[in-house]
Structure 1
Amino acid sequence: MHLPFWLTTALLFPVLLYQGKRARKHTPRLPEAQGSPCGQYGEGTPDIRFLVLGESTAAGVGASRHEQGLASQLALQLRERTGQTIAWHTFGVNGIRMGQLNQILASMELPQADVVLLSMGVNDTTGFTPRHRFRRQLLALREMLAPRYPGPICLLSVPPMHLFTALPSPLRQIMGWRARQLNRVYEQLARHAPGDFQYRSYPAITDVSLLASDGYHPSDKGYRAIAEVLACEDWFPDQPAP
């Protein structure tokens, strides 16, 4: 148990509860992206197939269409950098937590993929999912996906919620504190089991022009900016240098 965090949260609970309800009431709830959740850049058989799973960012909330969302924009950036044919597929549910995602994926027919990227953590942060449970659910996801996707799951860093200006203080600081705790679970798994998990980080979006109208999710430009950073990662060994 992370005692300082829980003591602080308990002391501030009435304020946090009020601010949380107020934030939900006044923050616009944007729809998930429209259009096909899959596509391809380049002709012929794909050299690399990307699958993005997760919460609102995987669902493209804040983007107008899935073509402007994270999976598509990452595939496009890699196509431009490498010249390879890149296929992409995304599946996300706005507001979902890790345990719920596992339940849904257990009964889904998932597409073929060479790289699986997981974008989770915000709803488990706001829902105060215990770290041990979050870790156990990540391991359960890895075990469930292993027969079809033997490579490591790429864990996209939990957004730094202490920078979410749409949230008031002290709620913003408490959520940021919790997000960093869950992000450390990602880092520890990637460090201790690199064959099962890899950690992928990207800079916080602080430019308001890259945010959607709710001040919370990336906009079309925001997803493109995230993809530009992630495309610099070494996603596959034979990726040509830019």
Structure 2
Amino acid sequence: MIYGLVSWLLAPVALVQGMLLRSRTPRLQPPDGRPFGQVGSGSEPAYRLLVIGDSSAAGVGADHIDETVGAQLAQILHEQTGDAVSWRNAGSNSAICEEVRDHVVPNLERLPYTHIIVAAGTNDMKNFLTAKRFKKGFGGLLYALRAKWPEAAIIWSPMIDMRTVPSLPAALANILEMRARIINRKGRQLCRERYAIAAPQLQTLDSSGFSVDGFHACGKGYRFWAELLAGTILEQRDAELKSAATVAKAAE
């Protein structure tokens, strides 16, 4: 792919601009609070959510734990279905896919999650990992999740358009967007091959969805993301119900 060649030729530009950007960008931490909870009453939640991955999975950029994507997704699903929903965030700052696979997944409790949201790939992209290495890391992560939680629906979120990220200078944004397209293309392919769902790409509207560092989402941005994921989960549920109804009717 031409994006790979061009982005590697421009790697020195990305390195210099990236170092300058890092030197003036505040390093944010995940919000305080327990990274799990439940919305709605009931003995058994109908939806059990695990959000796993990098700093976005941990909710970096949000002011409060209730503003993270896991908590907001649980709230939206509860509002739209009336069901109780539990959630758990498991994010590691700066983690690439293989680190999530090797260090986060093995240390998580084996709870009966119904849906696993994978927020990973951004660090593989900005670290200029090759498509081959991303395939090994992300593909292995999908296998590890499927092996540990065989009944869960696994949903991966592709990266947003890097040219819409406020903190990135134009040249760096265009270079990183080339890398993002490589990762997104390979990620969607792996999802098709390994029984996972690639959610639609989140479309950023304006800078109001970003935190003070201009890179991570803020509470509003996590809300946009949670709404998109809720739509993906409910569409999958409706498709499964329709399929089951078709099978039952055929068996009559």
Within 2, Cα distance between the matches of 1:10 and 1:189?
23
| Inter-CA distance 7–190: structure 2 relative to 1 (3 Å threshold) | closer
The equivalent of 2:54 in structure 1 is 55
The alignment's TM-score, normalised by the length of structure 2, stands at: 0.86
- Contact 1:163–1:176 under 8 Å retained in 2: no
| Inter-CA distance 203–141: structure 2 relative to 1 (3 Å threshold) | closer
Task: Point out the more displaced range, 159-168 or 73-82.
Answer: 159-168
Shift of 1:10: 4.1
| Inter-CA distance 148–86: structure 2 relative to 1 (3 Å threshold) | same
| Inter-CA distance 130–105: structure 2 relative to 1 (3 Å threshold) | same
- Contact 2:162–2:173 under 8 Å retained in 1: yes
Q: Match for 2:176: what amino acid? A: M
Higher helix share: 2
Within 2, Cα distance between the matches of 1:47 and 1:23?
43
Shift of 1:158: 1.6
Structure 2 counterparts to residues 192-211 of structure 1, below 5 A: 192-193=193-194, 196-211=195-210
- Contact 2:48–2:86 under 8 Å retained in 1: yes
Asked if residue 42 in structure 1 is aligned to residue 43 in structure 2, the reply is no
Deviations 1:105-142 (A, max 9, x none): 35303351111110011111011111122112222223
Task: Point out the more displaced range, 51-60 or 164-173.
Answer: 164-173
Asked if residue 185 in structure 1 is aligned to residue 186 in structure 2, the reply is yes
The equivalent of 2:130 in structure 1 is 130
Shift of 1:226: 1.6
The equivalent of 2:249 in structure 1 is none
Task: Point out the more displaced range, 153-162 or 121-130.
Answer: 153-162
Deviations 1:126-177 (A, max 9, x none): 1111112211222222332233311342111122212213111211101011
The equivalent of 1:222 in structure 2 is 221
Task: Point out the more displaced range, 148-157 or 175-184.
Answer: 148-157
Within 1, Cα distance between the matches of 2:27 and 2:96?
17
Shift of 1:34: 1.3
Asked if residue 139 in structure 1 is aligned to residue 139 in structure 2, the reply is yes
| Inter-CA distance 8–148: structure 2 relative to 1 (3 Å threshold) | closer
| Inter-CA distance 168–38: structure 2 relative to 1 (3 Å threshold) | same
- Contact 2:45–2:85 under 8 Å retained in 1: yes
| Inter-CA distance 200–106: structure 2 relative to 1 (3 Å threshold) | closer
| Alignment RMSD (CA, Å) | 2.0
Q: What percentage of aligned pairs have identical amino acids?
A: 33
- Contact 1:117–1:153 under 8 Å retained in 2: yes
